[in-house]
């Protein structure tokens, strides 16, 4: 996009948004052939200024002259008439009050566009014409309610650009002074396995509000991607996808995360590649806890299962399963060639299991994976291939669920609903930019998308909310008052 000057834009509150300043061409005088033409449509306001053949479209002298709720372009031009030329227009379906053009015989040309909402302006050359496009960009609150101290539900109408109108639902959390805690919630508190609607899962925990969260395996009924709750790793990473992390001070981070592990017996060690998830490759060594289930995956075909109890080698099998009976039981599962040290080890041998993340997120008390990334440092960054989201339809308009980190450590859980349309991943990223998000990531969407507030389904693609494996929800940090 080529810019030719400075246009100041104002919202109803008079807050300026403006295009970057560019130096004017010295002694540049624009040759104007005739009055500009105006297109006012439901999607865009476009002003085309015809230039004379000897005056190619280029940078011109532009004077900033900001007025409330107006876009103004003012510069010097060779007049095409000895009379004052004026024209104006308006459009009933736009947030534009009026367009006004004036050219004086002394060569001063002014273009005004009055608007009700903040807008962005693009300027470019099209042949010998200067083309000025005014695009609406705004958000308007439709409904708001306070759920707890530091936590609100807000429904918005959002236009990230002209012709694109969306309805979004936000759980807006300021963790610096809140009586609500953000945490992953599972349908079964004692297992990874289970599928329930967000409304049902939140009710189990006296949850205040929440959204659907992790992608999941519908057959195994488990989340896919890392989940860490109250400092405990529930399951491991998948393709090192992006995750939200909170430390004990509720400071939010968002990065791609890899969970790595190591088993150590004396001087022998072996890497752990999978935690409480199916193996993607037969070469991987996996670690399973009681959250996976009461039994390990079946050994056989060259794979063995090794049980650790209270940090010691407790049992081994080359055929069948091992019971996982308590919180202190772990089963290591993998090929006999990689776990051969256990074939000759004595029962009771001490075994060290070490888990860590890249980057180092040892300070995080809560981690939840999603993907792909939508925003990084305020810029759109959608990395489908890097996070192995080849099957995700990025350009389909569908309901979306996302998490955004805003300045001052505020966090928004966001649902883009299907009224009047769903959103692409690009749309979702642009919507979150309107709210000033710094970092953002996508969550499971489409039929899974749902938001529940105080027991009421604010939006769900499926009536009442589809069953999902994980809810990212808010629970009260203070006890409920006695009745």
Do residue 157 and residue 222 come from a single domain? yes
Residue 134 bridge partners (DSSP): 45, 121
Domain end marker among 324, 358, 392: 358
Per the CB < 8 A criterion, the answer to whether 473 and 223 are in contact is no
* Residue 1 belongs to some domain of the structure: no
Domain end marker among 135, 157, 172: 135
Do residue 385 and residue 412 come from a single domain? yes
CA–CA dist 86, 147 (Å, integer): 53
* Residue 483 belongs to some domain of the structure: no
* 314, 318, 319, 321 alpha-carbon torsion, rounded to 10°: 30
* Residue 141 belongs to some domain of the structure: no
Do residue 247 and residue 162 come from a single domain? yes
Do residue 320 and residue 176 come from a single domain? no
Do residue 246 and residue 373 come from a single domain? yes
DSSP-assigned letter for residue 482: P
User: CA 377, 170, 143 angle in degrees (round to 5)?
Assistant: 135
CA–CA dist 160, 95 (Å, integer): 14
Closest by CA position to 434, among listed 12, 45, 14, 17: 17
From the CB of residue 399, how many other CB atoms can be counted at a distance below 10 Å? 22
* Residue 42 belongs to some domain of the structure: yes
Closest by CA position to 186, among listed 171, 206, 202: 202
Per the CB < 8 A criterion, the answer to whether 20 and 3 are in contact is yes
Can you list the positions of beta strands (E) in 352-447? Answer: 352-358, 364-369, 373-376, 379-380, 400-406, 410-416, 439-442
**408: helix, strand or coil:** helix
Closest by CA position to 251, among listed 376, 389, 40, 407: 407
Tokens 């629970």 sit on residue: 475
Per the CB < 8 A criterion, the answer to whether 245 and 253 are in contact is yes
DSSP-assigned letter for residue 20: P
Do residue 187 and residue 220 come from a single domain? yes
What residue spans of 393-435 are helical by DSSP H? 425-434
Q: CA-CA distances (angstroms) from residue 37 to 84, 130, 468?
A: 17, 11, 53
pTM: 0.79
Per the CB < 8 A criterion, the answer to whether 62 and 24 are in contact is yes
User: CA 91, 94, 95 angle in degrees (round to 5)?
Assistant: 115
- Whole domain around residue 299: which residue ranges? 258-358
CA–CA dist 439, 442 (Å, integer): 11
Residue 77 bridge partners (DSSP): 30
User: CA 106, 111, 117 angle in degrees (round to 5)?
Assistant: 155
Residue 233 bridge partners (DSSP): 228
Question: At CB < 8 A and 24+ separation, what contacts does 153-160 make?
Answer: 153/209, 153/453, 153/458, 155/458, 158/431, 158/434, 159/117, 159/434, 160/427, 160/430, 160/431, 160/433, 160/434
Residue 443: predicted pLDDT: 98
Per the CB < 8 A criterion, the answer to whether 49 and 32 are in contact is yes
Can you count the helices (H) and strands (E) in the chain? 3, 39
Do residue 249 and residue 386 come from a single domain? yes
Tokens 């993340």 sit on residue: 357
* Residue 482 belongs to some domain of the structure: no
The number of distinct structural domains making up the chain is: 3
Per the CB < 8 A criterion, the answer to whether 90 and 40 are in contact is yes
List the strands of the sheet with 286-288, edge to edge: 274-275, 286-288, 329-335, 303-309, 312-317
Enumerate residues 6+ apart whose C-beta is below 8 A from 78.
29, 30, 31, 32, 52, 55, 107
From the CB of residue 302, how many other CB atoms can be counted at a distance below 10 Å? 11
Do residue 17 and residue 123 come from a single domain? yes
Q: What is the CATH number of the domain that holds 19?
A: 2.60.40
* Residue 438 belongs to some domain of the structure: yes
Domain end marker among 103, 135, 167: 135
Q: What is the pLDDT along the chain (483 residues), one digit of tens a residue?
A: 222 222 222 222 222 222 333 333 334 577 888 877 878 766 677 888 888 888 777 655 444 444 556 666 666 677 666 777 676 766 666 666 666 777 777 767 777 777 766 676 677 888 888 888 777 788 889 999 999 999 999 999 998 877 788 999 999 999 999 999 999 999 999 999 999 999 999 999 999 999 999 999 999 999 999 999 999 999 999 999 999 999 999 999 999 999 999 999 999 999 999 999 988 888 899 999 999 999 999 999 999 999 999 999 999 999 999 999 989 999 999 999 999 999 999 999 999 999 999 999 999 999 999 999 999 999 999 999 999 998 888 899 999 999 999 999 999 999 999 987 899 999 999 999 999 999 999 999 999 999 999 999 999 999 999 999 999 999 999 765 554
CA–CA dist 60, 367 (Å, integer): 52
* Residue 3 belongs to some domain of the structure: no
Indicate if the alpha-carbon torsion angle 369, 371, 377, 383 is positive or negative.
positive
What residue spans of 218-354 are helical by DSSP H? 341-344
Do residue 275 and residue 313 come from a single domain? yes
* Residue 17 belongs to some domain of the structure: yes
Closest by CA position to 429, among listed 376, 377, 374: 374
Do residue 122 and residue 32 come from a single domain? yes
CA–CA dist 340, 327 (Å, integer): 26
Do residue 28 and residue 91 come from a single domain? yes
Do residue 244 and residue 265 come from a single domain? no
């Amino acid at each position: 996009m080529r810019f030719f000057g400075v246009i100041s834009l104002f919202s109803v509150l008079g807050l300026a948004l403006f295009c970057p300043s560019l130096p004017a061409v010295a002694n540049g005088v624009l040759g104007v052939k005739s009055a500009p033409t105006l297109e006012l449509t439901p999607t865009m306001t476009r002003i085309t200024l015809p230039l004379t053949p000897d005056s190619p479209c280029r940078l011109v002298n532009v004077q900033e002259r900001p007025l409330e709720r107006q876009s103004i372009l003012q510069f010097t031009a060779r007049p095409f008439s000895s009379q004052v030329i004026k024209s104006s227009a308006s459009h009933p379906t736009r947030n534009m009050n009026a367009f006004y053009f004036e050219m004086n015989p002394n060569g001063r040309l002014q273009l005004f566009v009055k608007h009700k909402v903040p807008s962005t302006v693009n300027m470019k050359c099209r042949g010998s014409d200067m083309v000025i496009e005014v695009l609406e960009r705004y958000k308007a609150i439709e409904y708001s309610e306070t759920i707890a101290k530091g936590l609100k539900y807000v429904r918005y109408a959002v236009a990230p650009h002209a012709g694109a109108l969306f309805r979004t639902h936000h759980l807006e959390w300021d963790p610096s002074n809140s009586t609500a805690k953000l945490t992953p919630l599972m349908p079964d508190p004692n297992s990874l396995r289970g599928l329930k609607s967000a409304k049902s899962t939140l009710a189990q925990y006296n949850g205040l509000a929440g959204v659907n969260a992790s992608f999941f395996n519908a057959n195994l009924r488990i989340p896919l991607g890392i989940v860490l709750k109250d400092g405990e790793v529930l399951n491991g990473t998948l393709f090192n996808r992006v995750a939200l992390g909170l430390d004990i001070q509720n400071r939010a981070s968002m990065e791609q995360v890899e969970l790595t592990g190591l088993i150590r017996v004396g001087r022998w060690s072996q890497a752990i590649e999978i935690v409480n998830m199916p193996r993607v490759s037969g070469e991987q060594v996996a670690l399973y806890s009681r959250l996976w289930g009461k039994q390990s995956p079946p050994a056989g075909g060259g794979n063995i299962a090794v049980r650790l109890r209270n940090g010691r080698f407790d049992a081994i099998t080359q055929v069948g399963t091992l019971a996982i009976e308590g919180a202190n039981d772990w089963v290591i599962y993998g090929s006999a060639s990689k776990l051969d040290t256990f074939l000759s080890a004595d029962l009771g041998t001490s075994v060290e299991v070490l888990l860590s993340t890249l980057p180092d997120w040892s300070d995080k008390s809560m981690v939840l994976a999603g993907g792909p990334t939508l925003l990084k440092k305020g810029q759109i960054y959608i990395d489908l291939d890097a996070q192995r989201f080849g099957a995700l339809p990025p350009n389909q308009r569908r309901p979306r669920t996302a998490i955004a980190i805003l300045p001052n450590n505020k966090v928004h859980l966001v649902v883009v609903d299907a009224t009047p349309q769903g959103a692409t991943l690009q749309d979702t990223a642009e919507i979150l930019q309107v709210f000033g998000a710094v970092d953002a990531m996508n969550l499971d969407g489409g039929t899974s998308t749902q938001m529940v507030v105080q027991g009421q389904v604010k939006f769900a693609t499926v009536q009442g909310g589809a069953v999902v494996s994980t809810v990212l929800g808010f629970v009260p940090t203070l006890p409920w008052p006695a009745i």
